Amino acid sequence: MSEDRFKSCRYCGNRIHPRTRQCPYCGEQIGVGWFSAACMLLVALVVLGLLIYAICRRTPIPKPKQRIGESALVISAKW
């Protein structure tokens, strides 16, 4: 009965305990749990959201205003 509980390593094929996260024979990681995968996805979405927010909320660079009097002086100086 205890033989049924063991599973095979995907990498080396040896039998390992089902709760083992690292194969004791080859040293490979058995898998990422659903909680770790969900946390990584959540962090990636938060970073992406912050980048989009920063891009959308940028303050525009004000353009220098041209005075009406200055342009009239330049035009009259040429004549």
What single-letter DSSP state applies at residue 22?
Answer: B
Is residue 71 within 8 A of residue 64, CB to CB? The reply is no
The CA distance from 50 to 68, in Å, is 42
Alpha carbons 40 and 34: distance in angstroms, whole number: 10
Residue-wise pLDDT tens digits, 27-62:
888 776 788 889 999 999 999 999 999 888 877 777
More reliable by pLDDT, 79 or 66? 66
DSSP designation for 37 = H
Residue from 38, 27, 28, 30 nearest 6 by CA: 30
Average pLDDT, the chain: 79
The one-letter code for the residue type at 44 is A
